[in-house]
Amino acid sequence: MTNGDSVRVVFVGGTGRSGSTVVANALGGLGDAVSVGELRYLWERGITENRLCGCGAAFADCPFWQEVLRTAYGAAVPDAQQMHQQLTAYTQLRTLPRLARTPAERSSAPEALAAVLAPLYEAIGTVSGKSVIVDSSKLPTYAALLAGVPGLALDVVHLVRDPRAAAFSWQRKKEKNDSGGLMERRGVVKSATLWTAWNAGLERAWRGSPHYVRMRYESFATHPRESLQVLADALGLTGVDRLVDDEGRLDLPANHTVAGNPARMSIGPTAVRLDNEWAGAMDRKEAAVVTALTTPLLTRYGYPRSLAAGSAEG
């Protein structure tokens, strides 16, 4: 996956609670790559709400992001609330039908958004000194937006996780470590519906493209070295042996992720484990609801319908 002289963006897509944070940060430790978290939230959680950067500093106090904004926009930083509203409107779920079109049929990004996003990604590359930007924004509609921005070359890593494991994770109480309070929780119907919509959207838009690779999180968690090597080979990145030790621990680099799972703050030796707690602890009726709502994609991605089987590990 090579893209000439354009700004290369590796987009980690899928649904929430699918392991995208650790996978993206691992990719950000390879070769000439840098992980910036869920960049679609820059305007809301970064500029407006001033949440913590992955480096531990408040966004407004992070030298990296302040230099990125200066490099991209000088003194004329776009209105953050307006940008957030425009991005939300353009990428909301009801716009998914756009992804059914072939790449040739899809329209370019709106000029107003492209004029803001292109210099942002270019500035990240300039300030970081890296040529590959890893963005874990996940939304298929945001990926489609980036694909239509002139000057950006997009590779898509489609990360999937057993929908019952994801639904179970959405029900847990998790504290935000960048702003206080609890993270959003979702019921199983909403979780399963979004799992199907987002995964189907990504696959419909990019399957068969040389700029698309799909991986199950269970494979990554069980075989991190081998799985990361598969992704590195597909993306033209190097350095897996340096990043993963003999016990499968990731040596995650310091990062400036703007948003994501609390795990984005983890740096240094980090163990990755397969969490199959849902298989024994999830309410059986709720698990059955998720199974019903996510078939046939569930089986297409290699997950068993039987609740007793748990998530496949390979």
How many CA atoms within 13 Å lie on the side-chain side of 261? 18
Q: Is 268 exposed, middle or buried (0-12, 13-18, 19+ CB in 10 A)?
A: exposed
**31: helix, strand or coil:** coil
* Percent of the chain topping pLDDT 90: 76
- 311 band by pLDDT with thresholds 50, 70 and 90: low
pLDDT digits (tens, 9 = 90+) for 6-30: 899 999 999 988 999 999 999 999 9
Measured between alpha carbons, how far is residue 90 from residues 17, 152, 266 in Å? 23, 18, 32
What number of residues does the chain have? 314
Measured between alpha carbons, how far is residue 286 from residues 164, 239, 298, 303 in Å? 9, 42, 15, 17
pLDDT digits (tens, 9 = 90+) for 33-64: 999 999 999 999 999 999 999 999 999 999 99
Domain boundary assignment for the chain: 7-309
Structure-block tokens of residue 189: 């119907």
pTM: 0.92
d(CA 73, CA 69): 6
For domain 7-309, which architecture applies? 3-Layer(aba) Sandwich (3.40)
pLDDT at position 157: 99
**62: helix, strand or coil:** coil
Nearest to 137 by CA among 115, 114, 156: 156
